Structure 1
Amino acid sequence: MAMLPELGAAYGVSPGTASLSLTAYLFPFAAVMLFSGTLGERWGRRRTVVTAYGAYVLASVACILATAFPVFLAARALQGAANAFTTPLLLSALAAAVPAQRLGRALGWFGSLQAAGQTSAPLLGGFAAEVDWRLAFGGVAVVAALLLVLGIPSETRPDAVRPGLGDALRAALRPEVLRAGVAAALGWGCLAGLSFLVALRLEEEFGVGAGPRGLLLTGLGVAGLLTARLVGGGVDRVGARRSVLLGAGLGAVVVVAVGVLPAVWPVALAWAVGGVATQLVLVGVNAMVLGTPGENRGGAVSVVQAVRFGGGALSPVAITPIYHADPLAGFLVPAALLAVAVPAALARGGQDPSTDSSARA
């Protein structure tokens, strides 16, 4: 969050304390997402997403008006909880709206737009903070209000008799979904989640300043944005599970390269390739879950996303001590997790649904 110094100054707290605003957002975001997709499928996708956008608008306005830091943190928590009801249901609606043989391409488009937001948000937030940090929250409130008006398409098929909430949650928490979530968590946490580690190496070994570091780190998001559509088409052709394994293998090579290359420009190039690897993992995992026939696909993808963001949140806590003990090991350990743990998580999975869909097409 580029505006932490300005935020801390506004509330009379240190930038470190101001960083609690990230935790206040991410913790409820990941926790609520464990069941938000299941609840949204029961309440109706369109109704739930529109309500979530409305709650996000109110929470953003509360962030702007908050006069005390604890109130601001509470508003951030409401933002996270509200946003937890959007992504899983949007993915579920997307899967219901496109033919199975084109699911990967549709998810690639979705991933490219997500990457665009993730890449531009720090930059736009930083520019807003130069004037007033509240402008950033005003901007997201306006965007959420526009999305509320647009909504999403209504379900095109009538709902069958809906299972009880307990049965729906069990369907979302089945073992193959949890294994896909572990693969997503490792892919996210050991690739995109290592941006803090890349920044540390750039500063400590090459003396790169804050501005150039930030520019270099955006390379992963830009590469993901530019290649997500192509990655989605590749998922349709080679299958979702193979795409995840390819992305994990490529990611392992990227992480090792970023940790050992002796100059800034090859590190920057390797980190950008990491954006392609990240998209292969994330689009592939989403296609695996959404391409599998069964009830409560929205709940299943919700669980996967919750585990994914949980993995990203744990990455700094788990990897930073290893890096301080041995900088090279700080990169070799996540690379090994990508190369070994991701295939292990998917080893017991069934037949790749996206491959089946391509064959039928």
Structure 2
Amino acid sequence: MLPELGGSFGISPAAASSSLTAFLLPFAAAMLLSGTLGERWGRVRTVRTAYVGYALSCVVAVVATSWGVFLGARALQGLANAFTTPLVMAALAASVTPEALGRALGWYGSLQAAGQTSAPLVGGLAAEVDWHLAFVGVAAVALGLAVVGLPNDDGAASRSAATLRSALRPEVLRLGLVAGLGWGCLGGAGFLVALRLADVFDLDAGPRGLVLTGLGVAGILTARVAGAAVGRFGGRRCVIAGAALGGALLAGVGLVPLVGLVAVLWALAGFPSQLLVVGVNSLVLGGAGTRGGGPISVVQSLRFFGAAASPIALPPVYHADPAAAFLAPAALLVAAVPALVPRKP
């Protein structure tokens, strides 16, 4: 909806894309602390307050008459969302047995991928009528989620004495680096694929978008398989396997000469991306001393910082050598990720 958004405020679509940064930076930065603070304040109370805050910030976005106010609303949305994601995941882990954790995280990953894949379509359809409707709809959903609450919610806003020091343990930071590298090099490489589809195969925006959705669709279909694999083989093995397979597929995406093969390889990369994400999450949420919202909050923060770094670090490499822009992150996946994964959860 960036063209329609820019048209409303009298700016270009490129300038309107700054609304994405306005959301993502507070989102990733606040997640370094949000899980720990949420555990102190009580998961249920914090998540419900965050959903209400998200809904109110959507209302501000709808009524904003200047670009600065709209960007401020987007920043508040990112801040509020930072206080939902890690605490929801911690509540999910607390509601299942350790043996069922991988399967539960697989379900979570499948539904998350479904939301991320369908959101551009829903937003685009809303923008066909009026882009404000997208924010009205999201506000309504956020209020509904505030009413639903969390699993095992008995109405008590239980609190814990979580500390930031416990969340910043070396093994947690190592897993955060794995998540950042894994998601930045694989999931965050979509813009590189789009560049290659335009430069080498001369595809328009519509076909490019269709190819790019392949990763998300495959993620929806295979996340539960990845969760079952994590439950059977362990998170560490699945993370290493996902990094190796993802690196090989990413290299192929950057080298194969046929657009059909690019589409197939990019879609297949959806499975190793889920192995990486579900595997890392299971290592954090299933590890002794790293359960709770604080550690998973730190790991998710570093994951999104990795995704945000890719569009900054890789374009200069692509313009110098397109093949190297794919081979470099592929090599990081294959070599760096296995070296960083702790041997014990």
In structure 2, the partner of 1:358 is none
Q: How does 1:27-176 map to 2 (within 5 A)?
A: 27-154=25-152, 162-163=160-161, 168-176=163-171
In structure 2, the partner of 1:200 is 195
* 1:297-342 deviation per Cα after TM superposition (whole angstroms, max 9, x unaligned): 2100000000000000000100110000000001000001101111
- The answer on 1:294 being equivalent to 2:289 is yes
Aligned residue identity for 2:165 = R
Distance in 1 (CA, whole Å) between partners of 2:339 and 2:175 is 11
Distance in 2 (CA, whole Å) between partners of 1:47 and 1:282 is 27
* Structure 2 CA distance for partners of 1:161 and 1:279, relative to 1, 3 Å: closer
Where structure 1 has 5 or more consecutive residues not aligned to the other structure, the ranges are 353-361
Following superposition, the deviation at residue 183 of structure 1 comes to 0.6
Aligned residue identity for 2:139 = A
* 1:199-239 deviation per Cα after TM superposition (whole angstroms, max 9, x unaligned): 00001100111001101100000000011011101000000
Following superposition, the deviation at residue 343 of structure 1 comes to 1.2
Distance in 1 (CA, whole Å) between partners of 2:27 and 2:188 is 17
Distance in 1 (CA, whole Å) between partners of 2:314 and 2:293 is 32
In structure 2, the partner of 1:19 is 17
- The answer on 1:271 being equivalent to 2:266 is yes
In structure 1, the partner of 2:330 is 335
Following superposition, the deviation at residue 153 of structure 1 comes to 2.9
Following superposition, the deviation at residue 162 of structure 1 comes to 4.3
* 1:30-53 deviation per Cα after TM superposition (whole angstroms, max 9, x unaligned): 000001000111111111110000
* Structure 2 CA distance for partners of 1:161 and 1:40, relative to 1, 3 Å: closer
Contact kept, 8 Å, 1:95 with 1:290, in 2: the verdict is: yes
* Structure 2 CA distance for partners of 1:160 and 1:62, relative to 1, 3 Å: closer
Distance in 1 (CA, whole Å) between partners of 2:160 and 2:134 is 41
* Structure 2 CA distance for partners of 1:162 and 1:127, relative to 1, 3 Å: closer
TM-score, normalization: structure 2? Answer: 0.97
* Structure 2 CA distance for partners of 1:274 and 1:161, relative to 1, 3 Å: closer
Aligned length, in residue pairs: 345
Aligned residue identity for 1:119 = T
In structure 1, the partner of 2:304 is 309
In structure 2, the partner of 1:250 is 245
Distance in 1 (CA, whole Å) between partners of 2:251 and 2:212 is 16
- The answer on 1:212 being equivalent to 2:207 is yes
Contact kept, 8 Å, 2:47 with 2:87, in 1: the verdict is: yes
Considering only aligned residues, what root-mean-square deviation do their CA atoms show, in Å?
Answer: 1.6
In structure 2, the partner of 1:237 is 232
* 1:232-256 deviation per Cα after TM superposition (whole angstroms, max 9, x unaligned): 0100000001110010001101110
